Structure formats: structure tokens, C-alpha cells
Chain A
Amino acid sequence: MSIVLDRLFKRFDNHLVVNDVSLEVADGEFFVLLGPSGSGKSTVLRLIAGLTEIDQGNVRLHGRDVTRLAPQRRGVGLVFQHYALFRHMSVAENIEFALRIRRVAPQERRRRREELLDLVGLSGLGGRSPRQLSGGQQQRVALARALARQPEVLLLDEPFGALDARIRTELRRTIRAIQRELKITTIFVTHDQEEAFELADRLGVMNFGRLLEIGPPQELYLRPQTEFVATFLGTANLMVGEVTPEGVRLGPVQFPLSTRGGVAGVPRRVQVLFRPEDVAVKTSEDALAWPLLGEGVVEASDFVGSYERLRLRLPKIAGVRPIAPTAPFGGDFILIEASRSQHQARRFPLQAGDSAWVGVRRVHALTHPGLSLLVMAGGSQEELAALDLGGRIASLAHARLTILGGGGDEAEVRSRLQQARERLGGGLAALETAPGGEDPLEAVVRETTRQHYDLLVQGMPARNGAEVAERSLQAGDHHLLLVPAPGPVPSKLLICVAVGEPGKEDVVFAGRLARHLNAQATILTVLPAPADPRERERAKRFLAAGSRTLSLLEGDHDLVVVGAPLVAHRGRATLDRLVRGLLGDLRDHPVLIVRAHEVLA
């Protein structure tokens, strides 16, 4: 292995810029790090080059641990976005710089310089000043300069970022050819996916400091594992569906599982991806040989050169909740992105307003269902605390977050949402805000029918906590986080399994959350509550006493997680008395109520 990164961390001002990045790049491999700006990809490069100090983790180059080595001694060639040429030196002097530092004999220097100028296609321009060259030529000089002393590793930091499209393609070919010829291990950082696809042997996608997925470009495009990669690479239709033994189910529509992904077995919720080119659009139902999504209306058709891009609007399908493209707020329809060859577009012309039948050729199920949070942001103390904690959890878990405006007059709600938006903008997979309207519960119901949410975050009022919790749990199929007061992001979870055994949904969800928050979890098991009221009373006391004791012994538990057996009582979901009691006892802790589905069913 030429480059081995072992669990790298880097913080700037307490903000994790590189978060647990591990990577191995093979000898002679062309590896591309792709991500939006601010995702930490350039920082990773600087950590490898030694220009930024590593907080935690190791960098090994060709088996040599260079973690604490100065950049001068790492044997790394680095090419910068804005060339960083020495302006007071000629092109030749720039290229010879590294050789001059190493006191290479003038003759050898000249020979090497001519060789490099030749390699990057600038023969005869050695006498020029960098200022006299175009951007593309300057970047070629920078490349030659970086290669001068035959580095073991070549790092390129968005080298084409400042160049126009035609020069980019040209330089891309040059770099690829040179890399093949020299067989030099290369990491190339870019935010341009076309560039990434064309250059990469393997690709890594970064977002918010995390290296989310690694693989060959085609693999990542066809079979992404995370929501971010699915939507960041190309255009995606992403819906919440279910894995069944027979394949993937999207509402009433059953698809054979055409790509591997996730273990089939018990039905469980997954995110289902299909690309625009996987969507079949026909003018009549019979013409479609693929599983049908339904009949829709063409919203827009755009000519984009070699193919046609369609956006279709389908009526709501029961059980299907879209993630991407995002459904507009208040809309009760599904948007589908499709693309057709120009040949097809000519044979069956479609214009905006035409109706068409939509089928899906193949789907892929994502193994990591991303977290999705809904926060009710009213104006009260505990609701603001809920917004704050929910936002921070969402950003740590890289979740999708929707903020509901809550009560208050319109201007106030708008300014509150605006503030929240500004504060939380970074670190989230997606952020939406929506006015809450008069009745917050109604807004929750409206929102949860539009999209799936894993977790609703809400302030816990000083009184009637249990009633509020019951009503909120009833509004959808999400779990519930109740926040009584402002506090830190939980770093210690106390999981109280009140019903069932560990391994059930409460522990699983709490575990997922703990992993995202980097938190420690303590599991407190309570014996299943039988009908005997005395037994139940004992369990309740045990639970409350246990949490109090634990907070004394081990310091605070910042979050208490309880499994909530929802009992249907006269058509209403009721919390078990145990949990109700607990909510009354735990006045100063946020409480996560994990819904145990099987009880309700």
C-alpha cells in the first residue's frame, strides 16, 4: 500500500473537519476524493502532505509512518488549485526548484527540466515567466515542478478548479496519461463528479469530514450505500420502501431486487434508489414491460444534448414517501426524474402537461437508511432547547432535518426559522423549514404523512409531559425525543429496556444514535412487566431508582432512552404507566422514547 490513512481526525475551533477517515491507496492507483466544498477533502490532502498537523490518527506512505514528519521530508508532490508558482522565477527555475534545494548538479538539473517540460507538453517555454502563461499552462508547470524530484506520492488539490471547461478536459487527459506513464500513486481532490468518474480507479465520497463510501466509480453510482452518495453522484430518485424476501416493495409495487444490497429477510424499511435512466416512460400502459409506478403528468422536459431530461409528477402512492427529489411543501404528489435517449424522445414526443405511464426498470436498496429528524420549534424555553439539541444531533448524525415553525405570530415564526437555518446550515444532509400553523400537532401529522421521520424532537413542558408525548407519538410512526431544558449533546445514554429483551428496536435505535453522537450507552434491563400490578410497580421503582443511582455513580446520563410499549386504549395510543411515571420523575433529562412497534401491532 502506498498511502495508508488510519483513523484521521482534525478539528478547527472545535469543529470536526476530518472525522475518522481511514483509507488505503494501492501502488500506482489513481484515487479521487470527491465531495462538496467544505467537506474536508482538501484538509485530508494537507494532512497527508504534512501542511496541517494531525490531531489523531496515522499516515503511512510506503510503509513509513510520516505522521509527525515535516512536509519537507515526506516525499510528496503537491499541486494546488491556484498553481502557487514562484512568480519571481522563470518556468525553468520553478521546475528546478526542488533539484536546486537538493543540490543536484546543473547538468542533471537541465536534463531533468527538459524531460519534465516535454512530459507536460511545454517544451521550449522554460524561459518564460509564469505570468506570461495561461492558467492551464501554469498548472502544467506546477505539475512538472511537483514531479521534479520523483515523489512517491502525487497529491492534486482541485487542480482544475480555476480553469475553463475545455482546458479542464485537455488537462485531465494529460494528467491521466502522465500518471499511467509514471505509475505514481495519486490522490486527486475535486468537487466535480464528471472529473471524478473519468479519472478515478477508485473513488471516495466525503461529506462533513466523513469519508462515507469508497469504491470504483461505477459501483458507487449503481450501488451506493448511503443517502448522501446516492443523491450526490448523479441524479437520484430515492424513496422509502421495504425489503421483503421477494425483493423490494415500494408501496403496492413489488420489484425484484435487481442489485444486491442489504439482506433480504424480515421486512424492514430501506431507501430505494432508481436513476433517471432506470425510469421507463411510455405513452400507454401496455407498452411498459416493467413494474409500474403509475400514470403521471410531465412537469418539465429539457433538452440536454445527448438525452432528454423529464420531470414527472405522480399522484401520491400509499406507503411511498419520497426523499429525493424533495416533494414541495404541502404538495401531495411524487416527483420522478427520468431521462430518455433522443431517439426515444423523437419517437414518443412528450411535452409539459402530457400524461405518461411510468415504470421502473431496476431499483437498488440502500443498506444505510439515513436518519431523518423533525423538530418542533416553538418559542418557549424548552422548545428552543429542543431545536438546539435536535439541530446538533442532526448535524452530528449527518441527518436530514425538518424544522416546523410552531406557534406564535407569523413574523416571529419566520425569524425563528431563519435563525435556525443560519445556525444549522452546515453538517446536515438536508435542511427544510416549514411554518407550523396554529396546531403544532396537526403540522406534525401533515409533515409525517409527506415524509418519513425517524425521530421527532420536542420540548417537554413542565406539566403533562406524558400527555404531550402520547399525542406526539400518535401523530406518526416516529420515535420521540423530549427535551426539558437546554443542555449539551448527550455523551452518555442510559437505555432502559422496559419491555422485551435487548436487541429489540429501542436498543437498536438508541445504539444507532449513540454511534452517531459518539456517546457511551448503558443498558438497564427491566424484567418484562406482567399483568401483576405489584410487579409493575416494582419495575417502575427499579427503573427510576436505577437511573438516579447511575447518575450518582457514573456522573450524569445526559439522555435516558425508554422503550415505549404503546397500548391501544379506546382507539388512542397510550403510554404504559411505567413510562408515564418515569416521565414524571425525570424532570431534568432529555428522554428518548423509542416506539416498540410490535406491541402496537
Chain B
Amino acid sequence: MRSRPGGVLPGFGLAMGFTLLYLTLIVFIPLSTLVLKTATLSWGQFWETVASPRTLAACRLSFGAAFAAAAINAVFGLLVAWVLERYRFPGRLIVDGLVDLPFALPTAVAGIALTTLYAGNGWLGRFLEPRGIKVAYTPLGVVVALTFVGLPFVVRTVQPVLAELDRATEEAAATLGAGRGQVFVRVILPELVPATATGFTLAFARALGEYGSVIFIAGNMPMRSEITPLLIMIKLEQYDYAGATAIALVFLAASASLLLLINLISRRARAVPAG
């Protein structure tokens, strides 16, 4: 691998060296302690911790809810980005600013606010629960919280791409006979897929690691509404450091490979189509 000549930053050697050093200090060393700590366990103990029904249930919930939340965000984030980019309405800038709020808000605040809303006696829960929809203290609540924290990712990745789209292509499609629906599906959507996929990945990654907002609304019942990060915390509180790191390691490996997979898929989608 050689550097491309003419870059603005100093040579490949220096840049790569700095990158590696930085990654090592910030990412690799902390992660390696994870491995080292886990290594104090025997294979049997490791397996017991990792394959316990409680751990598996937590992982299932974490990945399932994160995926569901990211999927919801992919659809609605796209919609929000579309409205913000394509329409001019009073208060547009305010709405645009509100989108970033989940970034800025301490996640615990978000969790408490959502719990208050969706609890049996909350503003929304009051109407939902009589109809048999329980949100707070259920997996559904987890999805709601994760959707909340993930929204800005999709909106902010799709918005600039949407702004850059050449309106003339839509007009060209219209003069070629394509109706509104066809223009959207055949012309606009394909251009937005890569950005939406990136947004989805980011929202998914964020949701996997989310802790603060979830623990309030989830109720944290083992086997039912307990997410993996919380399980790790519980292990830590029980001074089971090795057990905690074991779960963390597996969770980390799973997340990393999933993200890698998604990135590969979206890269393929972005590639130039062949004849």
C-alpha cells in the first residue's frame, strides 16, 4: 500500500504511524485489557457465563431491539430528512435543530422522560395500556428508547445527500413519463440508499451500546427486558469482573462482525452497477 502523491498532509509513513499510535492508545489497549481479563477464566467458566440463558436473552434483546430501532429510524429518518430538505415551512429551522436533541440530551434524561410518558399512568401510557399495548418495562420500551437516540444519525446522513441531488434528474424523469411514485422509487430512492444504509449502521451501532436511556424504561427484568450492557453492569456490581468482560468480549465481537457485514453490504450497493 503506497501513498497517493500530492496529498496535503505529510507523507504516508508519518500519517499512518500517527493513526496507528492513536488507535492503539485509544482503542486497542483498552480492548486488549478486555481480552486479558477474560483470559483469567477457564474455557468452562467462560462458556458457562456466555451461554447462560440470561446472557443469551440479553444479547437477543440488545441486537433485536437495536435492529428494530435502526430499521424504524431508516424509514422515518428518511422522511424527516425529506421534509426538512424539500419543504419550506415556518419553524423549519427549529424542527431542524430539534433533530439533534437526542445527541445533546443526557441519555438518562431521555430515559426518564420516556418512562414518565409511557408508564401506566403517563400521558401516553394511560391511553395505550387499556388497549393492551404496554410500552414501559417491556422490550417495546427498549425499542422506543433506542429509536429516540438513533434518529439524528439517519437524518443527518441522508440530509446532505438529498440536498445535493440534482432536481433536474427528477424533472428529466417526469418528462420521460414517470409519475411521482415512479420518480421517487426509480430515481430518488436509489440515490439515497447508500446514505440511508450508513445512517442505519450508525443508528444500529449507537443502539447496541446505549445504556442510560434504556435502563429506566426497560424495567430490567432478567430474561425479558434486560439488555446486555446492563447485564455487564450487574456483573461488575457483583465484583464478577471476569464474567463481565467475558460477556463484553462476546458482545463486542458480535457487534463488530455485524457492523462489518452491514458496511460490506452497503459498499456493494454503492458500487457502480454493471450493464
Contact = CB atoms under 8 A, between A and B. Distances in A.
Nearest to A90: B275
A77 B274 contact: no
Contacts of B187: 86
B191 interface: yes
Contacts, number: 81
Interface string B168-211: 11011111111100100011001100000000000000000000
Contacts of B178: 72, 97, 101
Interface in A50-79: 50-51, 70-74, 76-78
A226 interface: no
B168 A80 contact: yes
Q: How many of chain B's residues touch chain A, expressed as a range? A: 20 to 34
Contacts of A88: 190-191, 273
B177 A102 contact: yes
A84 B273 contact: no
Given A71-B175, A72-B177, A88-B191, A126 B169 contact: no
A126 B274 CA distance: 10
A417 interface: no
B273 A86 contact: no
A51 B175 contact: yes
Interface string B26-70: 000000000000000000000000000000000000000000000
A282 interface: no
In this complex, which of A82, A84, A89, A93 has the most chain B Cβ atoms within 10 angstroms of its Cβ? A84
A5 B187 CA distance: 31
A132 B272 CA distance: 10
A148 interface: yes
Q: How many of chain A's residues touch chain B, expressed as a range? A: 35 or more
Contacts of B275: 90, 92, 126-128
A113 B194 CA distance: 29
Given A86-B187, A88-B190, A88-B191, A148 B176 contact: yes
Given A89-B273, A127-B275, A131-B272, A84 B169 contact: yes
B237 interface: no
A71 B187 CA distance: 16
Contacts of A126: 275
B175 A74 contact: yes
Interface string B140-182: 0000000000000000000000000010110111111111001
A145 interface: yes
B175 A77 contact: yes
Q: Is the interface of A mostly helix, strand, loop or mixed?
A: loop
Nearest to A78: B175
Given A90-B273, A101-B182, A51 B191 contact: no
A344 to B, nearest CB: 48
A85 B171 CA distance: 11
B173 A90 contact: no
Given A127-B275, A129-B272, A86 B169 contact: yes
Nearest to B171: A51
Contacts of A82: 166, 168
A96 B176 CA distance: 10
Given A84-B168, A88-B190, A51 B174 contact: yes
A514 interface: no
A87 interface: yes
Contacts of B169: 84-87
A218 B177 CA distance: 38
Contact of B171 (A71, A86, A93, A127): A71
Contacts of A89: 190, 273
Contacts of B186: 86, 97
Contacts of A148: 176
A123 to B, nearest CB: 14
Which 10 pairs, one residue from A and one from B, show the smallest C-beta to C-beta distance? A127-B275, A84-B168, A98-B176, A88-B190, A84-B172, A71-B174, A129-B272, A78-B175, A84-B169, A80-B168
Given A72-B178, A86-B187, A149-B176, 6 more contacts: A49-B171, A51-B175, A72-B174, A78-B172, A101-B177, A127-B275
Interface of B: 166, 168-169, 171-179, 182, 186-187, 190-191, 272-275
10 contacts: A50-B175, A72-B175, A73-B177, A78-B171, A84-B171, A90-B273, A101-B176, A101-B177, A126-B275, A128-B275
Interface of A: 49-51, 70-74, 76-78, 80, 82, 84-90, 92-93, 97-98, 101-102, 126-129, 131-132, 142, 145-146, 148-149
